[in-house]
Amino acid sequence: MNDRVESLDRAGGFGYSVSQVQRNKVLRNTYWLLALSMVPTVLGAWFGVASGITASLGGGLGLIVFLAGAFGFMFAIERTKNSAAGVPVLLAFTFFMGLMLSRLLGSVLGLSNGASLITTAFAGTAGVFTVMATLATVIKRDLSGMGKWLFVGALVILVGGVVNVFVGSTVGMMALSTLAIGVFSLFMLYDLKRVIDGGETNYISATLALYLSIFNVFQSLLALLGIMGGDRE
Protein backbone atom coordinates (compact mmCIF):
# COMPACT_ATOMS: atom_id res chain seq x y z
CA MET A 1 0.00 0.00 0.00
CA ASN A 2 2.81 2.41 0.90
CA ASP A 3 4.56 1.63 -2.37
CA ARG A 4 1.38 2.46 -4.24
CA VAL A 5 1.02 5.79 -2.44
CA GLU A 6 4.65 6.65 -3.15
CA SER A 7 4.16 5.78 -6.82
CA LEU A 8 1.12 8.01 -7.06
CA ASP A 9 2.98 10.84 -5.35
CA ARG A 10 5.90 10.39 -7.70
CA ALA A 11 3.63 10.45 -10.71
CA GLY A 12 1.74 13.53 -9.51
CA GLY A 13 4.89 15.40 -8.50
CA PHE A 14 6.95 14.90 -11.66
CA GLY A 15 9.44 12.56 -10.03
CA TYR A 16 9.28 13.92 -6.47
CA SER A 17 8.20 11.31 -3.92
CA VAL A 18 6.70 13.76 -1.42
CA SER A 19 3.24 13.25 0.02
CA GLN A 20 0.47 15.72 -0.71
CA VAL A 21 0.13 16.42 3.02
CA GLN A 22 3.79 17.44 3.24
CA ARG A 23 3.55 19.60 0.12
CA ASN A 24 0.57 21.44 1.56
CA LYS A 25 2.41 21.92 4.85
CA VAL A 26 5.48 23.38 3.12
CA LEU A 27 3.29 25.69 1.04
CA ARG A 28 1.32 26.85 4.08
CA ASN A 29 4.48 27.50 6.13
CA THR A 30 6.02 29.32 3.19
CA TYR A 31 3.05 31.67 2.91
CA TRP A 32 3.08 32.37 6.64
CA LEU A 33 6.82 33.06 6.74
CA LEU A 34 6.60 35.17 3.60
CA ALA A 35 3.91 37.33 5.22
CA LEU A 36 5.99 37.60 8.40
CA SER A 37 9.08 38.61 6.40
CA MET A 38 7.30 41.75 5.23
CA VAL A 39 7.33 43.14 8.80
CA PRO A 40 11.13 43.51 9.14
CA THR A 41 11.28 44.67 5.51
CA VAL A 42 8.94 47.56 6.30
CA LEU A 43 10.82 48.30 9.52
CA GLY A 44 14.15 48.31 7.69
CA ALA A 45 12.78 50.60 4.98
CA TRP A 46 11.25 52.95 7.55
CA PHE A 47 14.48 53.10 9.57
CA GLY A 48 16.53 53.73 6.44
CA VAL A 49 14.31 56.58 5.25
CA ALA A 50 13.96 58.13 8.73
CA SER A 51 17.66 57.97 9.60
CA GLY A 52 19.08 58.58 6.14
CA ILE A 53 21.69 55.94 6.91
CA THR A 54 21.79 54.71 3.31
CA ALA A 55 21.85 58.17 1.70
CA SER A 56 25.62 58.02 1.23
CA LEU A 57 25.55 54.55 -0.32
CA GLY A 58 25.57 55.65 -3.92
CA GLY A 59 27.39 54.25 -6.93
CA GLY A 60 30.00 51.56 -6.38
CA LEU A 61 29.93 51.74 -2.58
CA GLY A 62 26.21 51.01 -2.42
CA LEU A 63 26.63 48.12 -4.85
CA ILE A 64 29.43 46.58 -2.79
CA VAL A 65 27.49 46.87 0.47
CA PHE A 66 24.36 45.43 -1.11
CA LEU A 67 26.04 42.48 -2.81
CA ALA A 68 28.23 41.65 0.18
CA GLY A 69 25.31 41.82 2.60
CA ALA A 70 22.82 40.00 0.38
CA PHE A 71 25.10 37.12 -0.58
CA GLY A 72 26.43 36.87 2.96
CA PHE A 73 22.92 36.55 4.36
CA MET A 74 21.86 34.08 1.66
CA PHE A 75 24.87 31.90 2.49
CA ALA A 76 23.96 32.05 6.20
CA ILE A 77 20.32 31.16 5.44
CA GLU A 78 21.39 28.16 3.39
CA ARG A 79 23.59 26.96 6.26
CA THR A 80 20.88 27.39 8.92
CA LYS A 81 17.71 26.49 7.00
CA ASN A 82 17.37 23.14 8.77
CA SER A 83 17.94 24.55 12.26
CA ALA A 84 16.12 26.80 14.72
CA ALA A 85 18.31 29.72 13.62
CA GLY A 86 16.97 29.62 10.05
CA VAL A 87 13.92 31.82 10.57
CA PRO A 88 15.70 34.57 12.59
CA VAL A 89 18.50 34.73 10.00
CA LEU A 90 15.93 35.02 7.20
CA LEU A 91 14.09 37.80 9.03
CA ALA A 92 17.38 39.63 9.62
CA PHE A 93 18.02 39.37 5.90
CA THR A 94 14.64 40.90 5.07
CA PHE A 95 15.39 43.81 7.45
CA PHE A 96 18.65 44.36 5.58
CA MET A 97 16.83 44.29 2.25
CA GLY A 98 14.33 46.85 3.51
CA LEU A 99 17.23 49.03 4.60
CA MET A 100 18.79 48.76 1.14
CA LEU A 101 15.44 49.63 -0.44
CA SER A 102 15.15 52.81 1.61
CA ARG A 103 17.39 54.83 -0.72
CA LEU A 104 15.01 54.28 -3.64
CA LEU A 105 12.00 54.86 -1.40
CA GLY A 106 13.47 58.12 -0.13
CA SER A 107 14.07 59.28 -3.69
CA VAL A 108 10.50 58.44 -4.73
CA LEU A 109 9.05 60.04 -1.60
CA GLY A 110 10.83 63.23 -2.65
CA LEU A 111 8.39 63.44 -5.57
CA SER A 112 5.07 65.18 -5.03
CA ASN A 113 3.19 61.98 -5.93
CA GLY A 114 5.73 59.66 -4.33
CA ALA A 115 3.35 58.06 -1.82
CA SER A 116 0.86 57.14 -4.55
CA LEU A 117 3.67 55.67 -6.69
CA ILE A 118 4.74 53.44 -3.81
CA THR A 119 1.14 52.34 -3.27
CA THR A 120 0.78 51.58 -6.98
CA ALA A 121 4.02 49.56 -7.00
CA PHE A 122 2.86 47.60 -3.95
CA ALA A 123 -0.54 46.89 -5.50
CA GLY A 124 1.08 45.87 -8.78
CA THR A 125 3.45 43.48 -7.02
CA ALA A 126 0.60 41.96 -5.01
CA GLY A 127 -1.35 41.53 -8.25
CA VAL A 128 1.57 39.78 -9.98
CA PHE A 129 2.02 37.43 -7.01
CA THR A 130 -1.69 36.59 -6.94
CA VAL A 131 -1.70 35.78 -10.65
CA MET A 132 1.41 33.62 -10.42
CA ALA A 133 0.14 31.79 -7.32
CA THR A 134 -3.11 31.04 -9.12
CA LEU A 135 -1.31 29.83 -12.25
CA ALA A 136 0.93 27.60 -10.14
CA THR A 137 -2.12 25.74 -8.85
CA VAL A 138 -3.78 25.51 -12.27
CA ILE A 139 -0.88 24.54 -14.54
CA LYS A 140 -0.36 20.77 -14.53
CA ARG A 141 2.75 20.48 -16.68
CA ASP A 142 6.28 20.29 -15.31
CA LEU A 143 7.95 23.71 -15.32
CA SER A 144 11.36 22.60 -14.06
CA GLY A 145 12.87 23.29 -17.48
CA MET A 146 12.27 27.01 -16.93
CA GLY A 147 14.89 27.14 -14.20
CA LYS A 148 18.00 27.38 -16.38
CA TRP A 149 16.50 30.09 -18.61
CA LEU A 150 15.36 32.13 -15.64
CA PHE A 151 18.82 31.82 -14.11
CA VAL A 152 20.36 33.18 -17.31
CA GLY A 153 17.86 36.05 -17.26
CA ALA A 154 18.70 36.86 -13.63
CA LEU A 155 22.41 36.77 -14.46
CA VAL A 156 21.89 39.19 -17.35
CA ILE A 157 19.99 41.55 -15.04
CA LEU A 158 22.74 41.35 -12.39
CA VAL A 159 25.55 42.06 -14.84
CA GLY A 160 23.54 44.78 -16.56
CA GLY A 161 22.74 46.37 -13.21
CA VAL A 162 26.40 46.42 -12.18
CA VAL A 163 27.37 48.04 -15.49
CA ASN A 164 24.57 50.59 -15.27
CA VAL A 165 25.67 51.69 -11.81
CA PHE A 166 28.76 53.18 -13.45
CA VAL A 167 27.11 54.20 -16.76
CA GLY A 168 24.07 55.82 -15.14
CA SER A 169 21.77 55.37 -18.13
CA THR A 170 18.08 56.09 -17.54
CA VAL A 171 17.14 54.09 -20.64
CA GLY A 172 19.29 51.22 -19.38
CA MET A 173 17.58 51.36 -16.00
CA MET A 174 14.16 51.23 -17.64
CA ALA A 175 15.15 48.28 -19.83
CA LEU A 176 16.63 46.35 -16.89
CA SER A 177 13.61 47.10 -14.70
CA THR A 178 11.22 45.87 -17.38
CA LEU A 179 13.26 42.70 -17.87
CA ALA A 180 13.43 42.15 -14.10
CA ILE A 181 9.64 42.38 -13.75
CA GLY A 182 9.21 39.70 -16.40
CA VAL A 183 11.96 37.37 -15.16
CA PHE A 184 11.13 37.55 -11.46
CA SER A 185 7.39 37.24 -12.08
CA LEU A 186 8.13 33.95 -13.82
CA PHE A 187 10.45 33.01 -10.95
CA MET A 188 7.44 33.30 -8.61
CA LEU A 189 5.53 30.85 -10.77
CA TYR A 190 8.51 28.52 -11.02
CA ASP A 191 9.25 28.49 -7.27
CA LEU A 192 5.61 28.09 -6.23
CA LYS A 193 5.20 25.23 -8.71
CA ARG A 194 8.26 23.51 -7.23
CA VAL A 195 6.66 23.58 -3.79
CA ILE A 196 3.30 22.38 -5.10
CA ASP A 197 4.95 19.54 -7.05
CA GLY A 198 7.15 18.52 -4.13
CA GLY A 199 10.43 19.71 -5.62
CA GLU A 200 11.11 22.07 -2.69
CA THR A 201 10.53 20.66 0.78
CA ASN A 202 12.20 23.33 2.92
CA TYR A 203 9.89 26.26 3.60
CA ILE A 204 12.75 28.60 4.52
CA SER A 205 14.41 28.05 1.15
CA ALA A 206 11.04 28.45 -0.57
CA THR A 207 10.36 31.69 1.31
CA LEU A 208 13.78 33.09 0.44
CA ALA A 209 13.25 32.39 -3.28
CA LEU A 210 9.79 33.96 -3.33
CA TYR A 211 10.88 36.93 -1.22
CA LEU A 212 13.70 37.76 -3.63
CA SER A 213 11.29 37.64 -6.57
CA ILE A 214 8.75 39.85 -4.82
CA PHE A 215 11.45 42.30 -3.74
CA ASN A 216 12.84 42.58 -7.27
CA VAL A 217 9.42 43.02 -8.89
CA PHE A 218 8.46 45.73 -6.39
CA GLN A 219 11.79 47.54 -6.70
CA SER A 220 11.66 47.40 -10.51
CA LEU A 221 8.06 48.59 -10.66
CA LEU A 222 8.85 51.45 -8.30
CA ALA A 223 11.89 52.46 -10.35
CA LEU A 224 9.85 52.48 -13.56
CA LEU A 225 7.03 54.45 -11.97
CA GLY A 226 9.50 56.94 -10.53
CA ILE A 227 11.13 57.48 -13.92
CA MET A 228 7.98 57.54 -16.05
CA GLY A 229 5.30 58.83 -13.70
CA GLY A 230 7.15 60.89 -11.13
CA ASP A 231 5.86 64.44 -10.60
CA ARG A 232 8.84 66.65 -9.81
CA GLU A 233 6.96 69.92 -9.63
Res 112: pLDDT: 86
Res 7: pLDDT: 36
**Over 50: is that where the pLDDT of 42 sits?**
yes
Q: What is the pLDDT of residues 162-218, one digit of tens each?
A: 898 888 888 999 999 999 999 999 999 999 999 999 888 999 999 999 999 999 999
User: pLDDT grade, residue 233 (50/70/90)?
Assistant: low
Res 228: pLDDT: 84
Q: What is the pLDDT of residues 153-163, one digit of tens each?
A: 999 999 998 89
User: pLDDT grade, residue 144 (50/70/90)?
Assistant: confident
Taking the C-alpha atoms of residue 90 and residue 77, their distance in angstroms, rounded to an integer, is 6
Cα-Cα end-to-end distance for the chain:
71
**Over 70: is that where the pLDDT of 8 sits?**
no
Taking the C-alpha atoms of residue 5 and residue 172, their distance in angstroms, rounded to an integer, is 52
**Over 70: is that where the pLDDT of 10 sits?**
no
Res 232: pLDDT: 59
Q: What is the pLDDT of residues 87-141, one digit of tens each?
A: 999 999 999 999 999 999 999 998 888 899 999 999 999 999 999 999 999 998 8
CA proximity to 183, closest of 146, 143, 227:
146
Q: Which helix (H) or strand (E) holds 53?
A: none
Res 1: pLDDT: 43
Res 15: pLDDT: 54
CA dihedral 215, 218, 181, 207 (to 10 degrees): 30
Q: What is the pLDDT of residues 50-101, one digit of tens each?
A: 998 887 777 678 888 888 999 999 999 999 999 999 999 999 999 999 999 9
Res 82: pLDDT: 93
Res 13: pLDDT: 52
Res 143: pLDDT: 87
For 45, 78, 93, 104, the CA distances from 58, given in Å and listed in that order, are 16, 29, 20, 11
Taking the C-alpha atoms of residue 14 and residue 219, their distance in angstroms, rounded to an integer, is 33
